[in-house]
Structure 1
Amino acid sequence: MNARLNHFETVPGLMKELFDLSIASYKSSIDHTIKNLVEIRASQINGCAFCLDIHVKQGKIAGEKEIRMFHVPIWRDSHLFTAKEKAALELTEALTQLGKHGVTDEVYATVKEHFSDSEISELTFAIGLINLWNRIQILAQAEIGSRDAAQGLEKAGYSL
């Protein structure tokens, strides 16, 4: 698959703003392990190979166990995730596959058990951002691994 376009070249101002917002979200109070799991799960659901590749490599570099990353699609049945991580993954799925009735009261109640109001807002931003990045990269057909050197992802040891 050849890249269709480079949004960093066509709309550099918007991409800089999006990148800056992503950095601000990264600095939020949400645990980086949870944020990485959210990014992996949304990228899986959206079918964004480029983003999934990046976030799996980031997880490996950050010390995430590979078996946990393998279990992200089956998180409901896996004993490898905490209740808080499962709540974040449930919200990720609800917001990524937004149904006719939005996020159910049951999903919100589960999330509320584990996160404060400000953390729920930060988590919502993180989920929204990865969904936007997925859509941008899916349209662009960005080449998997093409940002590895720029982001230091070769340290993961997952060369293609």
Structure 2
Amino acid sequence: MQPRLDFYKASPDAAKAMLALEGAVGKLGLEPSLVELVKVRASQINGCAYCVDLHTSDARKKGESERRLYAVAVWREAPFFTEGERAALAWTESLTRIADTRAPDADYEWLSREFDEKERVNLTLAINAINSWNRLAVGFRSVSAT
């Protein structure tokens, strides 16, 4: 696959805005391991190989196990995730596929049992951020280093 363009170079201001959003997400107090799982799952759904590579690597550096990383794609069937992680992954899928799911009440109720209002907003912003990164990376064909 050939990259279409380097969006960092093409629009430094847009890249700065995305980096600012990412920085803000990092300061919201969400569990870093949870954020990485969310980033991996959204990136899998969006078909963003660059982001899957990046975030599985980041998750490993933060101590995430290979076993859990392999199972993120099948988290509903895998016994390796907490109830909070499962609720967050369901919410991630709902929002990433929002045109099809319309963010169902069942997923929101599950999320609400595991996270308070502030955490729900913060998690939703983290999901929004990775979906934006995925759209940039997929749209402009970002390629991982080999």
TM range, smaller chain: over 0.9
Match of 2:59 in 1: 59
Q: Report how far residue 101 of structure 1 moved.
A: 5.8
Partner of 1:76, secondary structure, is coil
Name the Cα RMSD after superposition. Answer: 1.0
Q: Report how far residue 132 of structure 1 moved.
A: 0.6
Q: How does 1:52-131 map to 2 (within 5 A)?
A: 52-100=52-100, 102-131=102-131
Q: TM-score, normalised by structure 2?
A: 0.96
Q: Report how far residue 99 of structure 1 moved.
A: 3.6
Q: TM-score, normalised by structure 1?
A: 0.88
Q: Report how far residue 100 of structure 1 moved.
A: 4.9
Q: Deviations over 1:96-145 (max 9, x none)?
A: 01145611111111000111111100100100110010010011111113
What is the alpha-carbon distance in structure 1 between the residues aligned to residue 100 and residue 140 of structure 2?
A: 28
Partner of 1:44, secondary structure, is helix
Relative distance call for 1:2 and 1:65 in structure 2 (3 A) is same
Q: Report how far residue 87 of structure 1 moved.
A: 0.2
Match of 1:27 in 2: 27
Match of 1:38 in 2: 38
Please say if residues 94 and 101 of structure 2, whose CA atoms lie closer than 8 Å, have aligned partners that are also in contact.
no
Identity rate of aligned residues, in percent?
A: 36
Match of 2:10 in 1: 10
5+ residue gaps, structure 1: 146-159
Partner of 1:133, secondary structure, is helix
Alignment-mate amino acid for residue 11 of structure 1? S
